[in-house]
Amino acid sequence: MKDAHSFARRGIMELPAYTPGKPIEEVQREFGLTSVIKLASNENPLKVSPLALAAMHQELENCFLYPESSSPCVRTALAQRLSCGADNIVVANGGDQVISLICQAFLDEGDEAVVGDPSFGIYNQNILIMGARIVRVPLVNLTFDLDAILRAVTEKTKLIFFCNPNNPTSTIVPKDEVARFMARVPERCVVVFDEAYFEYADDPAYGDGMEYVRAERNVVVLRTFSKAYGLAGCRIGYAVAPGHLTQALLRVMPAFPVNRVAQAGAVAALGDTAFVEASKKLNAEGRTYLVNALGEMDMPCPQSHSNFVFTDTRMDAKLVYNELLKRGVIVRPGMQWGFPTSLRVSVGTMDENRAFIATMKEIKG
């Protein structure tokens, strides 16, 4: 058998593989279950906006045609929503591809990129693919330490990834701390504000990165239709940045990154404010319930600012994870992030949340 190492680009075979949440179908097959609850991938429990679903059905008949490459209908709708120019927006095949484009556009071999640890693992994968070096800065109290990140910046630093709210801990950095950080970031660095969960951050202390885009700072704000808009399976996300940065991102964009159906769904979803508000209301209710119920079980959580909670089970997380799987509940264990007793649990419907809590009580005895 031929060895992939002799053909692959240097370092590729040593890349850590990204491990997504287990699909429902896989758990059903593995354990012979008919009913499975998935609280692993931070998907929207209300599913899809009815307006988006109708628009996607209508667009299906045009699938024989290539899509418009730059997703102009989505960019125009977003520009109106965000009060910026359409030229400030790049639409891609999910937030994951936006991260890939950022690394391709701005990282050379030997450059450095600073990340919080732990945070979204896709950053690390794409940094390494480009031959750059990851500089990990540990979280403090499960939250980004922006002062420590500044101390980690060197002459080789090109990118700083700042996930706010952070995945997997669901914590935020208040806007006044972000402002102090941005006042000290060297001009040569591009700061990536990963705001995949910003719709759920209802704390008045939270501030997004759009003000820095409008000020033409070297920032890229990353957002997605996968969460509050319920379009995770369509794979559509976007970057908002000053024009000098979007020009670089567009140079590495594939020819047709977003299909016609996803584009139609995204535009319609942006217009369905009732669906987004219902999603946020259900999430707030479920989030409060989970944090309180887990706290009563001696499983503390930091304050959650997203559509998931991060809880310390005070047990072996791998054991708890496997016991939950056997009972038809999928979550994410914390070992991959260096938290061997923790779980990340998505907020589901209230019935799903209660079923998870009941199952956890059964496991804990």
Q: Tell me what pLDDT residue 11 has.
A: 75
* Residue 93 burial by Cβ neighbours in a 10 Å radius (0-12, 13-18, 19+): buried
* Residue 271 burial by Cβ neighbours in a 10 Å radius (0-12, 13-18, 19+): middle
Q: Structure pTM? A: 0.95
Full 3-state SS string of 82-104: HCCCHHHEEEECHHHHHHHHHHH
Indicate whether 243 and 299 sit together in one domain. Answer: no
Q: Of 241, 256, 272, which one is at a domain's C-terminal end?
A: 272
Indicate whether 200 and 174 sit together in one domain. Answer: yes
* Residue 323 burial by Cβ neighbours in a 10 Å radius (0-12, 13-18, 19+): middle
Confidence of residue 18 (pLDDT cuts 50, 70, 90): confident
Indicate whether 55 and 10 sit together in one domain. Answer: no
DSSP state of 337: G
Q: How many domains is the chain built from?
A: 2
Name the residue type at position 267. V
Q: Tell me what pLDDT residue 4 has.
A: 76
**Contact present, 36 and 27 (Cβ < 8 Å):** yes
Which pair of structure tokens corresponds to residue 21?
A: 């949440």
Q: Of 250, 272, 294, which one is at a domain's C-terminal end?
A: 272
CATH assignment at residue 146: 3.40.640.10
- Helix, strand, or coil here: 136? strand
Indicate whether 229 and 333 sit together in one domain. Answer: no
Spell out the residues 6+ positions from residue 5 whose beta carbon is closer than 8 angstroms to its own.
13
φ, ψ for residue 232, nearest 5 deg: -55, -40
Q: Of 224, 255, 272, which one is at a domain's C-terminal end?
A: 272
Burial 128-146 (b: 16+ CB within 10 A, else e): bbbebbebebebeebbbbb
- Helix, strand, or coil here: 330? strand
CATH assignment at residue 26: 3.90.1150.10
Indicate whether 160 and 100 sit together in one domain. Answer: yes
**Sheet containing 308-312: order of strands:** 308-312, 342-346, 332-333
User: Average pLDDT for residues 34-53, to the nearest whole number?
Assistant: 97
Lowest mean pLDDT across 9-13, 25-29, 36-40, 227-231? 9-13
Indicate whether 68 and 115 sit together in one domain. Answer: yes
Q: Tell me what pLDDT residue 16 has.
A: 74
Burial 274-301 (b: 16+ CB within 10 A, else e): ebbeebeebbeebbebbbebbeeeebeb
Indicate whether 214 and 327 sit together in one domain. Answer: no
Per-residue pLDDT tens digits for 152-187: 999 999 999 999 999 999 999 999 999 999 999 999
Largest Cα–Cα distance of the chain, in whole Å?
59
DSSP state of 272: -
User: Average pLDDT for residues 203-212, to the nearest whole number?
Assistant: 97
Q: Tell me what pLDDT residue 209 has.
A: 97
Indicate whether 310 and 259 sit together in one domain. Answer: no
Q: Which domain holds residue 284?
A: 4-47+274-364
Indicate whether 212 and 260 sit together in one domain. Answer: yes
Indicate whether 22 and 83 sit together in one domain. Answer: no
Indicate whether 230 and 310 sit together in one domain. Answer: no
Indicate whether 33 and 114 sit together in one domain. Answer: no
* pLDDT greater than 70 at residue 260: yes
* pLDDT greater than 70 at residue 310: yes
Q: Tell me what pLDDT residue 1 has.
A: 63
